[in-house]
């Protein structure tokens, strides 16, 4: 008799944007891989009726749960609730456990956790610390809870001397936004996958910004990820070609990725995003637990570059869940 895997994913809103609807592609891809790996597959959409979800999971009693929940009710602050359910029902599940999932769902809290283990991040400030901003530095206002770069584009970047912009910031919610120094430098999206020998850092991906005007912030925002008709999307490229001179930087980022995985308790698959200063200092700007598994996404691009098939990636993720 085949063992059953339950794919858990978020119920879509009535008019989902591309970043939300992307989960359906992931469900289809994971389904295909699980069937090739000789599993039976079942599905459960999760919304804010958590009791109903718990009942259905316990009734189905799957061998393992593949967690693809990105948000609940299209709200990032509810994303960790799916992991809370899985922690409660005590059935093996893919991806990182509850505590790191909660820490990394809240981007400001993630910064504090990173700093506590000696990982450098850009300077961060709560919205009531605007008086600490330096006039000659550039900053970015970021949503605390949202994934997929939602509410994150060049209009969020400002100078510490822009008093008008800062006055507008003060009207926003302290619980939903924070300020971070905007690092003028290179950007890397680095993927990590479980292996029996420890976390494997896949080929490092540099995000390059082609023909950007000099005054246009170079960043991976919502448009560059999801709006196929935008300048940002068509002029952003992923490159795995690091020059030989980058070998020390490459080794440092790999060491940071492994340290984050080990000391913060990650499992399965993770993506860690970096900005690198002009002095070649790598700073972690975001941690994505259970990153997107769509074919066009960064994690699968890095996996393919390493020579890993989609089925092999899913097999490794399952292996880490049940060990």
Q: Residue 240 in 3-state DSSP?
A: coil
- Name which of 18, 70, 76 is nearest 223 in CA terms: 18
Looking at 74-78, 91-95, 116-120, which range is the least confident one? Answer: 74-78
Q: What is the pLDDT of residues 156-185, one digit of tens each?
A: 999 999 999 999 988 898 899 999 999 999
Question: What is d(CA 277, CA 120) in angstroms, rounded to the nearest whole number?
Answer: 12
Strand partners, 46: 10
User: Does 322 have pLDDT greater than 70?
Assistant: yes
Residue 187 banded pLDDT, cuts 50, 70, 90:
very high
Contacts 24+ apart (CB under 8 A), 12-19: 12/74, 13/73, 13/74, 16/74, 17/226, 18/226, 19/147, 19/148, 19/149, 19/150, 19/222, 19/225, 19/226
User: Does 214 have pLDDT greater than 90?
Assistant: no
Q: What is the pLDDT of residues 15-26, one digit of tens each?
A: 887 778 889 999
Q: Residue 183 in 3-state DSSP?
A: coil
Supply the CATH classification number for the domain 104-120+185-204+240-322. Answer: 3.30.470.20
Place of tokens 């098939």: 309
pLDDT at res. 228: 83
Name residues whose C-beta falls within 8 Å of residue 60's C-beta, 6 or more positions apart in sequence: 4, 6, 42, 44
Tell me if 162 sits within 8 A of 209, measured CB to CB: no
CATH architecture of 4-93: 3-Layer(aba) Sandwich (3.40)
Mean pLDDT of the chain: 92
User: Does 107 have pLDDT greater than 60?
Assistant: yes
Domain locations along the chain? 4-93, 104-120+185-204+240-322, 124-181
Torsion angle (degrees, nearest 10) of CA 21, 22, 23, 26? 150
């Amino acid at each position: 008799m085949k063992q059953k895997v339950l794919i858990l994913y978020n119920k879509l809103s009535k008019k989902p944007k591309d970043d939300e609807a992307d989960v359906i592609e992931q469900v289809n891809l994971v389904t295909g891989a699980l069937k090739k790996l000789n599993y039976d597959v079942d599905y459960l959409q999760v919304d804010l009726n958590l009791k109903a979800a718990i009942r259905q999971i316990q009734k189905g009693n799957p061998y393992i749960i593949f967690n693809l929940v990105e948000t609940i009710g299209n709200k990032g602050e509810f994303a960790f609730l799916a992991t809370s359910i899985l922690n409660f029902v005590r059935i093996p599940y893919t991806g990182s456990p509850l505590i790191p999932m909660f820490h990394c769902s809240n981007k400001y809290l993630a910064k504090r956790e990173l700093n506590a283990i000696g990982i450098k991040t850009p300077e961060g400030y709560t919205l009531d610390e605007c008086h600490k901003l330096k006039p000659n530095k550039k900053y970015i206002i970021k949503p605390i809870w949202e994934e997929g770069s939602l509410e994150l584009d060049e209009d969020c970047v400002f100078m510490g001397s822009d008093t008008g912009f800062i006055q507008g910031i003060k009207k926003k919610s302290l619980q939903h936004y924070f300020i971070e120094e905007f690092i003028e430098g290179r950007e890397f999206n680095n993927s990590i996958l479980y292996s029996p020998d420890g976390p494997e850092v896949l080929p490092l991906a540099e995000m390059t910004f082609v023909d950007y005007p000099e005054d246009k912030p170079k960043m991976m925002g919502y448009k560059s990820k999801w709006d196929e008709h935008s300048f940002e999307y068509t002029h952003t490229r992923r490159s795995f070609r690091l020059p030989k001179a980058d070998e020390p930087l490459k080794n440092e980022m790999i060491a940071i990725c492994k340290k984050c995985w080990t000391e913060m308790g990650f499992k399965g698959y993770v993506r860690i995003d970096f900005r690198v200063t002009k002095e070649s200092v790598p700073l972690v700007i975001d941690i994505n637990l259970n990153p997107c598994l769509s074919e066009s996404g960064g994690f699968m691009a890095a996996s393919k570059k390493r020579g890993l098939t989609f089925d092999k990636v899913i097999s490794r993720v399952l292996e880490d869940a049940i060990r």
